[in-house]
Amino acid sequence: MRISIKTRLALIFLAIACFIGVVTILIVNALITSQIIHEAQERVKEDLNVARWVYTSKIRDIDRVIRWTAIRHVMKKGIKERNLLPIRDELSGMMAEEGLDFLTPVDRKGTVLFRFHNPRASGDSLIEDPFVKNALQKKGISGTQILSGEEMLKEGKTLAEKAALRLIPTPKAKPVEKLEERSGMVLKSGHPVVDSKGEVLGVLIGGVLLNRNYEIVDQIKNTVFSKEIGTATIFLGDVRISTNVIDKEGNRAIGTRAMKEVQEQVLEKGVPWIQRAFVVDDWYITAYEPIRDIEDKIVGILYVGLLESKYAVMKEKLILFFFLFSMSGMLVALTVSFLLSWKILKK
């Protein structure tokens, strides 16, 4: 059976139109995917800058409280006389008002005089604490610090229990044998207490525990994400200690851990991770950067991320639009080509 020239031309035009349509869809898919992912990554990079600002702002707030408390006459008198009981209630109230978890004056030898959060614990030495060391040299200092489980117990049983986290098996995380994290990440400030002659009487240190403290991560989310599906996390090492990432049970995913590749790049190499990552149980467009303590040691990670599925839906809608547009163009081209070939053959 011979195929007419008219039919051949129609098939050729159809094949060409289909080929062009398929190539166009592939190119558009690649371009849309690249552009959307690029824009999302740029977005989370900016969001990470905001997250860092929120984190450091909290440190500055703590530093302001400790600095002004250290210059108060009652504090100077209490340390000089080694008797803080007369101002116990006043400073305990200040701690509650300012949201401090611990406040500790030490003498010029680094000996703890009183713990307002744990009054029964005193007399131990903090002379090796870098915050105390710097403050004894008349240098106010603030930043991040990791306290061991033993150090957390000195700060009080309640605070130590708040810091302790059971590690939860997490997909794509690096295998570990440890089942629990008892260390605490704290934001801390230390300032010298100086008399009228400029002599250092001692040091006042204080701060907040970040384990199970959601103030910073929720402030980040409310500031940069509004109603969008965005999340923020503070890690101690690779363990989530403060987060608004929600697990399948509807709880904050504390105790879960970062993806292996993220842990290796951010904690071991000290390099930010700005790309997609698996977060607890889903894929996100993410930005991670190291958190360093006052001795410039990497001790944790600051993270922000947007649920990738949101961008996948956006991509699918755009691709569908271009597909329908391309198919319409193909049908128009096919109709025009058929009419032209029909007119040519008719002559």
Superfamily of domain 57-209: PAS domain (3.30.450.20)
- Determine the 3-state secondary structure of 24 from DSSP: helix
216 close to 55: Cβ distance less than 8 angstroms: yes
- Give long-range contacts, CB 8 A cutoff, 24+ apart: 264-271: 264/174, 266/290, 266/298, 266/301, 267/237, 267/238, 267/298, 267/301, 270/298
**At a CB cut-off of 8 Å and minimum separation 6, what does 121 contact?**
112, 115, 154, 155, 156
Residue 311 in tokens:
């961008």
- Other CB atoms within 10 A of residue 127 CB: 14
> Tokens 């592939």 belong to which residue?
26
Nearest-angstrom CA–CA distance, 283 and 308: 6
Q: Can you give the residue ranges of every domain in the chain?
A: 57-209
Residues 40, 285 contacting (CB under 8 angstroms): yes
Instruction: Decide: 92 and 100 in contact? Cβ < 8 Å.
Output: no
What are the distances in angstroms from CA 106 to CA 90, 142, 320? Answer: 18, 16, 67
Q: Given this model, what pLDDT does residue 15 score?
A: 66
State the DSSP code for 123.
S
Q: What separation in angstroms does the CA of 196 have from each of 139, 183, 259?
A: 17, 39, 54
> Would you give per-residue pLDDT tens digits along the chain (347 residues)?
455 565 665 566 666 666 666 665 655 555 445 555 667 778 889 999 999 999 999 999 999 999 999 999 999 999 999 998 888 888 999 999 999 999 999 999 999 999 988 888 889 999 999 999 999 999 999 999 999 999 999 999 999 999 999 999 999 999 988 899 999 999 999 999 999 889 999 999 999 999 999 999 999 999 987 666 789 999 999 999 999 999 988 899 999 999 999 999 999 999 999 998 999 888 898 999 999 999 999 999 999 998 887 655 555 555 555 555 665 666 666 666 666 665 655 55
Query: Any residues with CB less than 8 A from the CB of 224 and at least 6 apart, and which?
Result: 47, 50, 51, 230, 304
CA distance 151 to 147: 6
